[in-house]
Amino acid sequence: MLIKDDTIAAIATPHGVGGIGIVRVSGPDVEEICQSLFRPAADTGSLRDRYLYHGDIISPETGSIIDEVLLTLMRGPHSYTGEDTLEINCHGGHLILQAVLNEVIKAGVRPAEPGEFTRRAYLNNRLDLSQAEAVADLITAKTDRGRALALSSLKGKLSEKLQSIRSGLIEILTVLESSIDFTEEDMSSGPHRNLSKDVEDVIIRINGILSTYKEGKLFRDGLNAVITGKPNVGKSSLLNRLLGERRAIVTPVPGTTRDFIEETINIRGIPVKLTDTAGVRKSAEAIEKEGIEFVWEKVLAADVVIILIDGNARPTEEDFEVINRNREKRIILVINKSDLPRKITDEELTGMIPGVEPLWISAKYGGGISELKERIYSLASDNGEYIESDIILTNLRHKISLEKTAESLVAAKDNITRENAAELAAFDIRTALDHLGDIAGETTTDDVLDRIFSNFCVGK
């Protein structure tokens, strides 16, 4: 795998105005960049490793000052990328940052590609591939729980567990390969008698990790919850109440919400994307019809559908249409306007959607909102309980690789129990090791790496 030996640079902080912005440079020409562009405020001689220096970035062409900065040189291999790295802390305006970056590029540096700093860290063995992916997950984490899981992977918790599994498989492979030269030896006796159990134990460990994926995906990607119902039942009021702020327009006029509104809230560590949709009714207006079509599209992609009914009115044809089109989904039946006289009973509601317990709320005054959040949280998992481990699988690529590893090990176990099948079993173990190596990037192809790192931001 080719490691590019040129020098790259990028703005490493988000676009916009802030107190500080950072231009990051990595590669063999870093010290030359310092000498040509940086003028320290005091004579310091040669720059020391990991010291913060105050001075100016200047234009070599004109001698003019671009910005007053703080600069740090970090020499490889003990840097993020494993190469000589420079971080220029500028004032945080985009114009300033771009001007500094332009001077760096004029000095012969190439603009970095998305994720190239982290890719170099991986290629220089500063991180394995699962840790590199955790960097992106950490940056995009939506809740503290998601952040903690990403940080755990970045610190190598998952890598350590997989390395332990890998070591066990190598030991099994060593025993298998030693038996290939002694074909008359029965693998079911002597030192080989426990190989089948050893492989089974590894399969159990892998399946234990795989069992955490559903929860890990939930904390990483979140849950989609769509609020639907006929017009004027309080969908927008409910969205505002769940958000704790006025986000959607609320009026007594039916059809106020024409499009959909999406916002994310944190429910006990789970990022929940709430979607407020147009009210479902028969309408002759083209724009409102289009909004109602959006409702059904959003419902199809929803993990949870919150069906909202007006408890101060008798059920209508529109109520039943919404219910009938969502019977196969995970439903929370919410009855709004509990602060007003009830014109529908719990028995009637239970008959409308058998097995779904109705929940009465008041979107106007906040009654029942805490209970609704708990319902959402419980529905996110099959039993409402979550694993309190810091080793939880969150990445689909990792899941697929582990499933392939387990499949190969099942085949290996089967061959171990067959007479004269040591070579086949050894082949299966090697295949399992290859699949396991995909997670850490030991056997990952360049096109897969390109796809992974293309999703990173440019400065990381």
Domains of the chain: which residue ranges?
A: 8-128, 134-212+392-441, 222-380
238, 255, 317, 336, 359 from 232: Cα distances, Å: 11, 8, 14, 10, 18
pLDDT recorded at residue 302 = 81
**Integer Cα distance of 456 and 118 in angstroms:** 9
CA–CA separation, 202 and 193 (whole Å)? 16
What beta strand segments (E) does 253-356 contain? 261-267, 270-276, 304-310, 331-336
Domain boundaries 222-380, corresponding CATH code: 3.40.50.300
Task: Identify the CATH number of the domain defined by range 8-128.
Answer: 3.30.1360.120
> Measured on CA atoms in the order 122, 123, 128, 129, is the torsion positive or negative?
positive
Q: Do the beta carbons of residue 274 and residue 243 sit within 8 Å?
A: yes
Low pLDDT (below 70) residues in the chain = 1-4, 181-193, 245-260, 278-297, 381-390
pLDDT (0 to 100) of residue 279? 60
Query: What is the CATH number that goes with domain 134-212+392-441?
Result: 1.20.120.430
Find all residues with CB under 8 Å of 379, minimum gap 6, and list them: 304, 330, 332
Q: Sheet harboring 110-111: ordered strands across?
A: 38-40, 52-58, 65-74, 85-92, 18-26, 8-11, 110-111
Q: What's residue 301's pLDDT?
A: 74
Query: CA 28 to CA 75: how far, in whole Å?
Result: 10
The whole-number pLDDT of residue 383 equals 55
